[in-house]
C-alpha cells in the first residue's frame, strides 16, 4: 500500500512537470501520512526535521558548496578561454582539431567545475560557434559539447562522488582517483567519434602554432591547469581530505583570479557567493527530499524487499547484476538528476554488491558513468537543453546528432563495468 502510494504520487508529480525535489519530497510526505494513519499528524511528521537535518549535515557534504564556489571563481577568472587557447595551439591545426579542443577543454574544465551543465554553459558559447565556423553541423557541435560536458561528473573533483561516498560510506578520495581513467576514456571515445564525423565534412583548420605560441599559451593557462593537480595531489598524497581540498581550491582560485589573472574584483565576490549559494541550495534541497524518499523506502522495508528481489534476479552472477544496474540507471538518468538517483538507488544496489563481492568503489564509478550518460540522453538530458540554447538548435535536431556519441559512451560504460581494473588502477 505505502509503496504504491509512494511511487504513484512520485510518477504523477513527475508527469505534471514538478521539480524533482518537489516530486521526491511531496510523495514521501504523502506516504508518511498514509503510513501513520490513525496517529496525530504532528506525531507522524515529528521525525521529518531530524531526517532532513541528518542527511544534510554530514561533514563530507561541505565539499559541495566549496567545489561549486571554486568552479564559479575559475570560470569568472577566464580560465575557460585560456584552456581553449592552449588546446587550439596544440591541436587546432589537425583536421577536426576543434572537436578535439572541445573534448580536451571539457575534461580540464570538468575537473575544475565538477558540473556537467556548468561546463556546457561556460565552454559552449566559445567552442560551439567556432566548430560551426570550421565546418561541423550546428546540431553535432552542440551534441558534442553536451556529451563532453557530462565528463564533468566523472573526472574529479565531482560532486556526485561526494554524494555517493557519503551515502555508501566509502572513501571519497579513492572515488576521485577511480573516476580519472574512466573520465579520460570517455573523452577519448568522444574524440574518435568527432574525428570520424569530421572526415565526412569539409573542415577548416587553424594555422599551426609555433613552439613559442604553444609555450605562451601553456604559460598563460598554467595556473588554471594546476588546480586539479593540487586537489588530486593533495588528496592522494594524504595532505588533506576531500572536504579540505575543496576549501583549498577556493583559496587557490581566489588567489589566481585576483592576483594572477586579475579578472576578479573583490566587489564581484558577493555575486559569486550569491550564485554559489543558489546552486548549493538547489543541490541540498534535492538531497533533503531524496533522503525523505530513502527513509520511507527503509521504513516500509521496501529497500530490503527490492534488494532481495534484485539479488534473486541476479542468481548470484555479477555480470547479470551489472546488466540490471546499467539498464535501471540508464533509464533513471533520463528522468532524474544524479543526486536524486544516487539517494534512491545506492541503498538498493550496495547490499547486493556486497553480497556478490563487488568493490563499492567500482560500483560507484559504474553508477556515476551511467548517470553521466543520462545527462546527454534524450528526452530530458539536462546538458542537451543547455547545449540547444548555446548552439541555437532544437531538441529533435540535437537528439539525432547525439546518437553516435551515446553509442561511444555506452561502449566505454561496458568496458568500465566489466573491467574493474580501469576504475581501480590507481586505488
Give pLDDT tens digits for 409-418. Answer: 999 999 999 9
Q: Which tens digit of pLDDT belongs to each residue from 328-370?
A: 998 888 777 777 788 888 888 998 999 899 999 999 999 999 9
Q: Say whether pLDDT at 135 is over 90.
A: no
Pull the grid cell for residue 178. Answer: 577511480
Q: What average pLDDT score do residues 115-143 get?
A: 81
Q: What average pLDDT score do residues 28-37 get?
A: 79
Q: What average pLDDT score do residues 186-211 get?
A: 83
Whole-structure pTM value? 0.81
Q: State the Cα–Cα distance between residues 423 and 427, nearest whole angstrom.
A: 8
- pLDDT at position 293, please? 82
Which range, 61-65, 205-209, 229-233, 373-377, is most confident? 373-377
Q: Say whether pLDDT at 257 is over 90.
A: no
Report the greatest alpha carbon distance in the chain. 78
- pLDDT at position 320, please? 93
Q: Say whether pLDDT at 261 is over 80.
A: yes
Q: State the Cα–Cα distance between residues 271 and 72, nearest whole angstrom.
A: 10
Q: What average pLDDT score do residues 162-178 get?
A: 87
- pLDDT at position 112, please? 62
Q: Mind giving me the DSSP string for 278-300?
A: HHHHHHHHHHHHHHHHHHHHHHT
Identify the CA nearest to 118 among candidates 276, 331, 315, 321: 276
The mean-pLDDT minimum among 115-119, 304-308, 344-348 falls in 115-119
- pLDDT at position 72, please? 79
Q: Say whether pLDDT at 16 is over 90.
A: no
Q: What average pLDDT score do residues 28-55 get?
A: 75
Q: What average pLDDT score do residues 290-312 get?
A: 79
Q: What average pLDDT score do residues 50-54 get?
A: 78
Q: Say whether pLDDT at 137 is over 80.
A: yes
Pull the grid cell for residue 331. Answer: 533509464
Residue with cell 564559479: 72
Q: Say whether pLDDT at 266 is over 90.
A: no
Give residue 419's pLDDT band: very low, low, confident or very high (50, 70, 90). very high
Give residue 30's pLDDT band: very low, low, confident or very high (50, 70, 90). confident
- pLDDT at position 44, please? 63
- pLDDT at position 37, please? 62
Identify the CA nearest to 203 among candidates 94, 89, 84, 103: 94
Q: Say whether pLDDT at 421 is over 90.
A: yes
Q: What average pLDDT score do residues 366-381 get?
A: 87
- pLDDT at position 161, please? 87
Give residue 186's pLDDT band: very low, low, confident or very high (50, 70, 90). very high
- pLDDT at position 136, please? 84
Q: What average pLDDT score do residues 153-178 get?
A: 85
Residues 172, 387: contact at Cβ < 8 Å? Answer: no
Q: State the Cα–Cα distance between residues 275 and 369, nearest whole angstrom.
A: 27
- Tell the burial category of 330 from Cβ atoms under 10 Å away from its Cβ (0-12, 13-18, 19+): middle
Q: State the Cα–Cα distance between residues 103 and 153, nearest whole angstrom.
A: 14
Give residue 85's pLDDT band: very low, low, confident or very high (50, 70, 90). confident
Residues 261, 77: contact at Cβ < 8 Å? Answer: yes
% of the chain residues with pLDDT over 90? 17
Q: What average pLDDT score do residues 395-411 get?
A: 92
Q: What average pLDDT score do residues 5-13 get?
A: 84
Domain coordinates in residue numbering, the chain:
47-424
- pLDDT at position 410, please? 95
Residue 78 CB partners (closer than 8 Å, separation 6+): 261, 263
- pLDDT at position 362, please? 96
Q: What average pLDDT score do residues 127-141 get?
A: 85
Q: What average pLDDT score do residues 182-209 get?
A: 84
Residue 381 CB partners (closer than 8 Å, separation 6+): 146, 333, 334, 374, 375
The mean-pLDDT minimum among 86-95, 183-192, 251-260 falls in 86-95
Please name the helix (run of DSSP H) or strand (run of DSSP E) that holds residue 147, with its range, or none.
helix 138-149
Residues 415, 420, 426: CA angle, nearest 5 degrees: 115
Amino acid at each position: 500500500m505505502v509503496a504504491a502510494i509512494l511511487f504513484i504520487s512520485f510518477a504523477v508529480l513527475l508527469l505534471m512537470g514538478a521539480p524533482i525535489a518537489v516530486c521526491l519530497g511531496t510523495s514521501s510526505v504523502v506516504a508518511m501520512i498514509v503510513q501513520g494513519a490513525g496517529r496525530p499528524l504532528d506525531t507522524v511528521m515529528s521525525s521529518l526535521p531530524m531526517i532532513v537535518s541528518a542527511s544534510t549535515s554530514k561533514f563530507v557534504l561541505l565539499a559541495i558548496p566549496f567545489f561549486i564556489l571554486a568552479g564559479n571563481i575559475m570560470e569568472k577568472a577566464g580560465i575557460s578561454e585560456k584552456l581553449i587557447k592552449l588546446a587550439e595551439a596544440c591541436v587546432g591545426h589537425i583536421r577536426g582539431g576543434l572537436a578535439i579542443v572541445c573534448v580536451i577543454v571539457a575534461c580540464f574544465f570538468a575537473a575544475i567545475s565538477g558540473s556537467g551543465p556548468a561546463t556546457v554553459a561556460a565552454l559552449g558559447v566559445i567552442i560551439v560557434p567556432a566548430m560551426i565556423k570550421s565546418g561541423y553541423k550546428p546540431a553535432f557541435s552542440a551534441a558534442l559539447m553536451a556529451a563532453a560536458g557530462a565528463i564533468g561528473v566523472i573526472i574529479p573533483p565531482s560532486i556526485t562522488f561526494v554524494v555517493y561516498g557519503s551515502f555508501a560510506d566509502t572513501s571519497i578520495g579513492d572515488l576521485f582517483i577511480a573516476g580519472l581513467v574512466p573520465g579520460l576514456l570517455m573523452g577519448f571515445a568522444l574524440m574518435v567519434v568527432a574525428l570520424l564525423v569530421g572526415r565526412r565534412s569539409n573542415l577548416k583548420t587553424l594555422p599551426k602554432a609555433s613552439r613559442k605560441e604553444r609555450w605562451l599559451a601553456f604559460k598563460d593557462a598554467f595556473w588554471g591547469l594546476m588546480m586539479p593537480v593540487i586537489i588530486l595531489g593533495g588528496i592522494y598524497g594524504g595532505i588533506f581530505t576531500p572536504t579540505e581540498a575543496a576549501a583549498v581550491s577556493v583559496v587557490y582560485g581566489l588567489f589566481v583570479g585576483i592576483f594572477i589573472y586579475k579578472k576578479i574584483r573583490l566587489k564581484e565576490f558577493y555575486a559569486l557567493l550569491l550564485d554559489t549559494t543558489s546552486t548549493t541550495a538547489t543541490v541540498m534541497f534535492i538531497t533533503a527530499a531524496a533522503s525523505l524518499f530513502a527513509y520511507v523506502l527503509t521504513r516500509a522495508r521496501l529497500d530490503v524487499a527490492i534488494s532481495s528481489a534484485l539479488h534473486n534476479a541476479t542468481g548470484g552472477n555479477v555480470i547479470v547484476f551489472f546488466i540490471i544496474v546499467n539498464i535501471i540507471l540508464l533509464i533513471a538518468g533520463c528522468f532524474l538528476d544524479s543526486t536524486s538517483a544516487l539517494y534512491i538507488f545506492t541503498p538498493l544496489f550496495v547490499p547486493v554488491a556486497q553480497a556478490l563481492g563487488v568493490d563499492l568503489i567500482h560500483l560507484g564509478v559504474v553508477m556515476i558513468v551511467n548517470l553521466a550518460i543520462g545527462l546527454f540522453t534524450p528526452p530530458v538530458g539536462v546538458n542537451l537543453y543547455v547545449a540547444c540554447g548555446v548552439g541555437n538548435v532544437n531538441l529533435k535536431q540535437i537528439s539525432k546528432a547525439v546518437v553516435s556519441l551515446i553509442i561511444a559512451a555506452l561502449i566505454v560504460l561496458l568496458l568500465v563495468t566489466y573491467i574493474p581494473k580501469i576504475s581501480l588502477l590507481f586505488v
